[in-house]
A = this chain, B = another copy of it.
Amino acid sequence: MERTSLMDFVEEILAGKVFAISKMISLVERRDPKAFNAMKQLYGKCGRAHIIGVTGPPGAGKSCLVAALVRQFRKKGLSVGVLAVDPSSPFTGGAVLGDRARMEEFSSDPEVFIRSLATRGSVGGLSEAVNGAVDIFDAAGKDIILIETVGVGQNEIDIVNLAHTVVLALVPGYGDWLQAMKAGIMEVGDILVVNKADQPGAGSLLNELCLMPGKTMARDILDNADVRMETWRVPVGLTTAIKGEGTADLASIISMHFQFLKIGNGLSEKNRERRINQFLDLLSKRMREEFVRHYQTDPALRGWIEKIKNLKLDPYQASEQVIDFIVEAREGKIRNKRPTNKKENNQ
């Protein structure tokens, strides 16, 4: 893509053009070098959206909950981007089939953009794709970005590192609660939701959760709608997303959490952390690619690869040796040339 057409393309994304957004996410997904250049342009327009993660075990009704939240945010006139990330879905079936049904309801609304990220074949590329897609939605002017993902720390994309607000959806009657709590899973949500509240056991689960340290009834937060608190007490509420019950309150609490983060230092802190993580992700992936690209022609790198291939050197020692080599090389470089000059040249 030439510079002019790249700029046109970026302009279309910034203007919220559906085709351009969609194309750009696809480029990011397959790690096209064009995406890399466009992302640099889009980056400056990011930072306005509220990034919300909806997570929980399979069967917690996350998709229904997300659809209900889309309806609620649309009622408030906010534009919404949805990213469905479900690596556990067999055959990317969740991504391919499930969405289609969900898409239909919102297909006539230009202010709602729903996109699935398939992870097949892109080992290690998921967090980069999700981060990229979030930035694209943000730059394209979406007010709300909802990311639906299964599990917590169970897959590559750690929603906690990415979202401003994490909604953990649970359902009554879900197996061994003690196990779940021991596993520390209850610590990830900024908001806990007992979904499918019309099923038996919802009330007792709600009570059980509220008794946990740092948790409170959602009602308490809604009644004293003051977000200038020092620490966020995690509200626990009931929803029956499929009937739309409790979802208006949930949307309100989500927005309150965003206000809370804005008033305190939380929002900028989270944004900083996300950018550092995103950078370290990109760096480690690019290092790998760089190594693969160069080892064919570079005798130093090729030597390592040959020894590993011939099983004469184990990957553990090899990785140590390469790191030592790079670190020593870098230190040599620093002695030869001031790093501050280097940095300034590169800007």
Chain A interface residues toward B at CB < 8 A: 36, 39-40, 43-44, 47, 56-58, 87-93, 96-97, 119-124, 127, 150-156, 158, 161, 174-176, 179-180, 183-185, 271-272, 275-276, 278-288, 290-292, 294, 299-300, 303-305, 308-309, 311, 314-330, 332-334, 336, 339-340, 342-343, 346
Contacts and interface: CB of A to CB of B under 8 A. Distances in A.
A100 to B, nearest CB: 11
B300 A153 contact: no
Determine how many copies of this chain the complex contains.
Answer: 2
Given A36-B320, A286-B319, 17 more contacts: A40-B316, A47-B311, A89-B154, A90-B180, A91-B176, A93-B176, A119-B155, A124-B124, A272-B308, A275-B315, A276-B308, A282-B319, A286-B320, A287-B326, A300-B340, A300-B343, A303-B340
Contact of A280 (B121, B275, B291, B340): B291
B280 A123 contact: no
A57 B175 contact: no
**Is chain A's binding surface mostly helix, strand, loop or mixed?**
helix
A284 B285 contact: yes
A285 B288 CA distance: 9
Contact of A282 (B44, B316, B342): B316
A3 to B, nearest CB: 16
B93 A314 contact: no
Nearest to A181: B91
Q: Which 10 A-B pairs have the closest CB atoms?
A: A88-B88, A57-B90, A300-B339, A329-B333, A43-B314, A279-B315, A282-B319, A284-B284, A284-B288, A278-B315
